Structure 1
Amino acid sequence: MSLNANDTHKKIVKAAHKLFMDLGYRAVSTRRIAEACGITQPTLYHHFSNKKAIYMEVLRTELVDMQNALSRIIKRFDGDIEECLFQVTYYILINKPPSMGQMFHDIQKELNQEHQGTVRKWWMESYQDPIASIFEKGIKDQKLRDPAEIGSDPVSSAYLLLSLISSRNTDYKLKESLAKEQARFYVKVILYGLSQSNGR
């Protein structure tokens, strides 16, 4: 793909991302995406075979960006489990799509089982696996309790943290101060529970 073609590809994905998040999958046509990019529909179809292909690329790009960001955070705060989990949680709260509810609805209603499976795999690689790696390292370094002792494992712990984060599934961006407060609370709950004897 030439540099110019690559720029057009990125422009289509960026414009489509905004339209899909603002309006939902059904309300967006390839004509609308092309108009938002300032290109013709034939040019758009040169890059993507149909609307679903564009939507899948929007999701893939969104998830890869998140995966790369979380990997950088984990590398930076390697060794400090609580701070690493806090920074990861804070980043997700600040940067997750504000219209995540719409996105989940579209994935469930508009994509077939095969595409849903692909998105689920991307999600695990982007969100679940990086967070699970933090818990896995904590167990390996004996900074966290043995999974056999508490009946949990790194993946379950990651899923639990992500469930707490997704419980704040609002359609607006959290203010930084509130996001930090929420992130710190979620990490404390995951690491120490709510009892006074385990708190810090």
Structure 2
Amino acid sequence: MEAADTRQEILIQASRLFKRLGYRATTTREIAKAVNIKQPSLFYHFPNKKAIVEEIFALSLNEAAVRIEEACRQEGPASERLHQYLVWDLSTLHRMPMAMSAIYTGDALKSPELADLANRLKSFYRSLEDLIAQGIRSGEFVAIDPSLGRLMVASITIAHLEYAEESEIKDSDKLAREGADFVLRAFSKS
């Protein structure tokens, strides 16, 4: 197996173990076994379990954070900006081979050593709340607490992640549009 392939397989298998066992209960030995490599080989690619979860998290959040910030700053209806962002985000997440849901819903972000990741997610959530608040102020969205709106969007995103992890997705873009449409209908005043 090529080094890049091994690294990718470590991320995939680690994400599955995090989903099944939790971050804290998963060991680097179990990850190495799942990849069919020796533990020292795993350490060639990642110095520790924290580095693995940081990379998985970065794959799902780094570009998303940039795009939600851009959506907040762009001109035009907030509903269109939120919809475009969600289509991109859901479509991107559907194509990832990792089991991403556990990173957001499991025990990983509650670990003190991953406090930086939890803070980055909070920053992302503030931007999402800002975009929702823009839609409320412009009269496009129903009057709702933006943090509740953010929780609703996050819940739908997690549901999409879990669906993608359990199903064979034939058309990621179509599924992403359906998810984004669903969110916009929930926020819509009409």
1:190 to 2:187 alignment: yes
CA gap of 1:18–1:31, structure 2 versus 1, over 3 A, is closer
Query: In the alignment, is residue 158 of structure 1 matched against residue 150 of structure 2?
Result: yes
Of stretches 176-185 and 14-23 in structure 1, the one that deviates more from structure 2 is: 14-23
Alignment deviations for residues 88-125 of structure 1 (CA, whole Å, 9 cap, x no partner): 221222122562344456x41x6763135443322222
| Structure 1: gaps (5+ residues) | 1-7, 193-198
TM-score, normalisation: structure 2:
0.65
Q: How many residues align?
A: 170
Distance in 2 between residues matched to 1:68 and 1:33, nearest whole Å:
36
Work out whether residues 94 and 179 of structure 1, in 8 Å CA contact, stay in contact via their aligned partners in 2.
Answer: yes
Contact 1:89 1:183 in 2 (8 A): yes
Native 8 Å contact 2:109 2:117 kept in 1: no
Instruction: State the alpha-carbon separation in 2 of the partners of residues 112 and 160 from structure 1.
Output: 21
**RCO higher in 1 or 2 (8 Å CA, sep ≥ 6)?**
2
- CA distance in 1 between counterparts of 2:37 and 2:67 reads 29
2-side partners of 1:51 and 1:42: how far apart?
A: 9
CA positional deviation for 1:67: 1.0
Aligned to 2:56: 58
Q: Which has the larger radius of gyration?
A: 1
- Structure 1's 51 and 81: CA in aligned 2 closer, same or farther, altered over 3 A? same
Report whether the alignment pairs 1:176 with 2:173.
yes
SS in 1 for 2:56: helix
TM-score (norm. length: structure 1): 0.62
How much does 1:68 deviate? Answer: 1.8
Which whole-Å CA distance do the structure 2 matches of 1:72 and 1:89 have between them?
Answer: 13
Gapped regions of structure 2 (runs ≥ 5): none
Alignment partner, residue 139 of structure 2: 144
Are residue 70 (structure 1) and residue 65 (structure 2) matched? no
Alignment of 1:1-200 (within 5 A): 14=8, 16-22=10-16, 24=18, 26=26, 27-29=30-32, 43-44=44-45, 48=47, 50-75=48-73, 77-96=74-93, 97=96, 99-104=99-104, 107-108=106-107, 113-115=111-113, 117-126=115-124, 128-139=125-136, 142-144=137-139, 150=143, 152-168=144-160, 169-170=162-163, 171=165, 172=167, 173=169, 175-192=172-189, 199=190
Instruction: Tell me, in whole angstroms, the C-alpha distance in 2 between the residues paired with 1:55 and 1:68.
Output: 20
Alpha-carbon separation, structure 2, partners of 1:163 and 1:22 = 20
Give identity over the alignment, percent.
15
**CA–CA separation in structure 2 for the residues paired with 1:41 and 1:100:** 20
1:166 Cα deviation from its structure 2 partner: 2.6
Q: What is the deviation of 1:132?
A: 1.2
Equivalent pair of 1:34/1:40 in contact (CA under 8 Å):
yes
Query: 1:167 aligns to what SS in structure 2?
Result: helix
**Could you tell me how far 1:186 is from its partner in structure 2?**
1.5
- For residue 74 of structure 1, report the CA deviation from its aligned partner: 4.3
